[in-house]
Amino acid sequence: MIFIGGYVSASGVGLTCPDWPLCPQGFLPHEDFIIEYIHRSVAATTGLLVMATAAFVLKSKDAPRGMKIASLIATGAVIGQIALGAVVIVERLHSLLVTAHLGLGLVLFSMVLMTVVYSHRMPAKMAVPAVRD
């Protein structure tokens, strides 16, 4: 997401799709704003995956406390990114808002990374057993 957002910003297409959350033609992308459409689609998918991960982590009795905290912070960051992304579009790419959007994206990335690190530190006995013939 950071790479795609950086590309959107550097290529100057951040306002090619001036409406939020959908572009003027709705769910169907138009070639004039395909880059911004891809950014929003990948962001929506990423947000759903982060929230689903948090739900599974919080439901798990075996997940360590730090993993649960990192996952909750990641979920909060996703919600913040959605809101901030909307404000960035409405306010026509104000530089402070774009910078805050990037900063919150770095927090989100860090918390997802911490969740992954915690998952790799969990004992192997908690892994799902393989199906045998």
Q: Which tens digit of pLDDT belongs to each residue from 68-103?
A: 999 999 999 999 999 999 999 889 889 999 999 999
Assess if residue 129 is contained within a domain.
Answer: no
Assess if residue 130 is contained within a domain.
Answer: no
Assess if residue 45 is contained within a domain.
Answer: yes
pLDDT of residue 21: 76
pLDDT of residue 110: 98
Given a cut of 70, is residue 133 above it in pLDDT?
no
Assess if residue 11 is contained within a domain.
Answer: yes
pLDDT, one tens digit per residue, over 1-51 is: 999 998 988 888 888 887 777 777 777 767 877 888 888 889 999 999 999
pTM: 0.85
User: What's the CA gap between 102 and 81, in Å, rounded?
Assistant: 9
Given a cut of 80, is residue 129 above it in pLDDT?
no
Higher pLDDT, 56 or 12: 56
The per-residue b/e assignment along 27-56, b for 16 or more CB within 10 angstroms, e otherwise, is eebeeebebbbebbeebeebbeebeebbee
Contact 82, 72 (CB under 8 A): no
User: What's the CA gap between 24 and 5, in Å, rounded?
Assistant: 20
Assess if residue 132 is contained within a domain.
Answer: no
Domain that holds residue 88: 2-122
Higher pLDDT, 114 or 26: 114
Left (φ > 0), alpha (ψ -120 to 50) or beta: where does 93 sit?
left
Q: Per the structure, how many domains does the chain have?
A: 1
* 70 three-state secondary structure: helix
Alpha helices of 60-94 — where are they, by DSSP H? 65-90
Assess if residue 128 is contained within a domain.
Answer: no
